[in-house]
Amino acid sequence: MNRHAQAAVLCLLGASLVHAGATELSLRYVKSGLRPLLLLAGVVLVAAAVATVWYERRSPASGHHHEPRVSWLLLLPVLALVLIAPPALGSYSAMRAGTSLQEPPAYPPLPAGDPVRLGLADYAARAAYDQGRSLRDREVRITGFVALDRAGDAYLVRIALNCCAADGRPVKVGLTGGVPPVLQPDTWLEVTGTYTPRRTRDPVNAGPIPFIEVTAAKPVTAPSDPYDESWNN
């Protein structure tokens, strides 16, 4: 691989990163807050490619030097970004990982009006650690995808990211009450319901899994950002 080929590969890789960072494709790999860094990395690679071509033209003699053929492996991440859009983590991963639910430092008052829309983890934390004090006599609405355990019991799940999809961890809420009779894993549901003290322990890490008493549920389109790092969706 000569310098011109290196520049071409760098430009392709940089352009692919810019494309991913400028579109929702990046949300398959990293959380939304890292999109500016992904864009910056792409711009830097494109600039490096331009600088390589400029240097090569300024120094024609250097064009006779060739780099190891292994350099062509740099094409692999380009092909992966262009040809493969990995699916978001779903029920298969969620039921094989322990819940990442953690106790928050405080529970802000809920806004007026019922039903009140909550992030799934916000509801789960209030139900598991605050004994539902802020949820009593309130109707809530949460959204997530369906996961079924080996016994066929249904859970509503969102995946939290610290950085990227590789470190995604689930938060799970069990469904009880008016649960639809037929549920398909990975179906996105908007669930309306009320607090129930019922809870169980995650068999993977013994973390708490609270439940919601379902009064209504309907399928919804998967959100453009399937991961939930802020828990405010």
Q: Read off the pLDDT of each residue in 84-108 and give the average, rounded to a whole number.
A: 82
Residue 216 in 3-state DSSP?
Answer: strand
- Does the pLDDT of residue 18 top 90, yes or no? no
User: Which of the pair, 72 or 45, is modelled with greater confidence?
Assistant: 45
Q: For 104-124, how does the pLDDT look when each residue is reduced to its tens digit (9 = 90+)?
A: 888 899 988 999 999 999 999
CA 108 to chain centre: 25
Q: Considering only residues 176 and 222, tell me which one the structure prediction assigns the higher pLDDT.
A: 176
Most confident of 8-22, 153-167, 180-194: 180-194
Enumerate the β-bridge partners of residue 217: 191
**191 or 78, higher pLDDT:** 191
3-class secondary structure, 70:
helix
Rounded to the nearest 10 degrees, the angle between the axes of helix 3-22 and helix 75-83 is: 30
- What percent of the chain has a predicted confidence (pLDDT) above 70? 74
Q: If pLDDT is split at 50, 70 and 90, which confidence band does 143 have?
A: very high
Mean pLDDT comparison of 38-42, 106-110, 166-170, 228-232, highest-scoring range:
106-110
Distances (CA, A) of 59 to 5, 43, 65: 16, 24, 11
Label residue 192 by pLDDT band (50, 70, 90).
very high
d(CA 70, CA 81): 19
pLDDT above 70: residue 27: no
Predicted confidence at residue 232, as pLDDT, reads 40
pLDDT band at 229 (very low <50, low <70, confident <90, very high): very low
- Hey, where are the domains in the chain? 3-86, 92-219
Q: Which fold has domain 92-219?
A: OB fold (Dihydrolipoamide Acetyltransferase, E2P) (2.40.50)
DSSP, collapsed to helix, strand or coil, labels residue 1 as coil
DSSP code for 214: E
**CA angle, 217 as apex, 211 and 221 as ends, to 5°?**
110
For 127-138, how does the pLDDT look when each residue is reduced to its tens digit (9 = 90+)? 999 988 999 889
Tell me the whole-structure pTM to 2 decimals: 0.69
* Highest-confidence segment of 9-18, 96-105, 163-172: 96-105
Rounded mean pLDDT, 54-81: 64
> Which has the higher per-residue pLDDT, 80 or 62?
80
Percentage with pLDDT > 90 across the chain: 38
Instruction: Assign 10 a pLDDT band (cuts: 50, 70, 90).
Output: confident
* Encoded tokens for 87: 């699916």
Range from 22-26, 67-71, 126-130 carrying the lowest mean pLDDT: 67-71
